[in-house]
Structure 1
Amino acid sequence: MPHYSETNGPSRLDVAVTLQALIPAAQDDVFRFVSAEDVLPKILTGYGLVPGVVSTSDVSGPWDRPGVHRVVHLADGSTVDEAVTTYDRPSYFSYRVSNPSFALKHLMTDARGEFRFVPEGADTHLTWTYTFRAKDDIRKLPLALFVRSQWRGYMDVCMRNIGTHFAGTAPTHRNA
């Protein structure tokens, strides 16, 4: 089951959601799939008001190096910039999202995503945390409402797509 958490972590303006799933595949296989340069249209297929990813462009280098960036194109014609911040195969992958061309640009400054991959027998325990940074205290409330009502569902669809890729069935969700 997806778990929503609003954090006071590094900033009081952060709004985070964490999902966990048991993926029926080896750690390195799951890491390679989730962190692949071409994976976004396969797993970020959309949910509610959040459009799916259709493509990426302007990749500045090999996608396995911190600092490499690209433009992500969404089904509604909007874009967002994405950059790798950590690539530690096969256990950890993180990235930063900025410059959205859609409505969230009025609520957020940037977002950070991170995936943790932990072997669990022949399977992989996958944890995905996505943290938005609100522009200010006033905009944090509508951003948190968006995260609860839309973004969490978008992440859930993504996790199900990852599980389906490996097993043809949805992964087992766990509380974070």
Structure 2
Amino acid sequence: MRTAPTPLTISLLDRFALIMAMLAEIAVTQGHAQHLPGAKIIAIWQRLTSIAARFARAVLRGPTPSRKRLTPEKPNRAKRPSLPDGFGWLPRVFPGTHDMPAAVTYPAQQLRDLLADPTMAELIETNPAIGRILRPLFEALGIERPAILAILQPAARRSIPKPPRDNQNPAISFWPPQPPFEPEACFSENMIQKTAA
């Protein structure tokens, strides 16, 4: 259910939109300066603008309960340029130019400051989708995720004892195995002789 954004929420949206606009501009400007393939520049630009759009939709949608997400089938990207990946791939692809060295450093710092805002922390706590959107961005920029974006580990499963094999009741099992019952063993040798006489 869409909720009316508060002035603080609008401010956060504007700040995040500005950060993503700076990153998208860096991708285009430095991509051309480094003579990267046009298809690769467009793919990176689309990735960044997609993060910005998803973030805005998640914030405007309002708090949502945490739920198990189904893993979607990966689209066929045989004809698409492969996107960079790994920790800090944005600074590696766009290290900077002589007039704009380490260009991604400034938006990365702005992103850290944004996550330090208490209102932002509250949004992430009440809307897990925002955390899922932001984690790949921190990975791409090569900056450590703050505690608010930590992935909660599932609780350890309780170990359930397995039932006895072959439906045997361990309470009535005998160990070591008992010898077979022999009637003669119940009588002494003298008693057997008297009976025979």
> Greater helix share, 1 or 2?
2
TM-score by length of 1: 0.26
TM-score by length of 2: 0.24
> Greater strand share, 1 or 2?
1
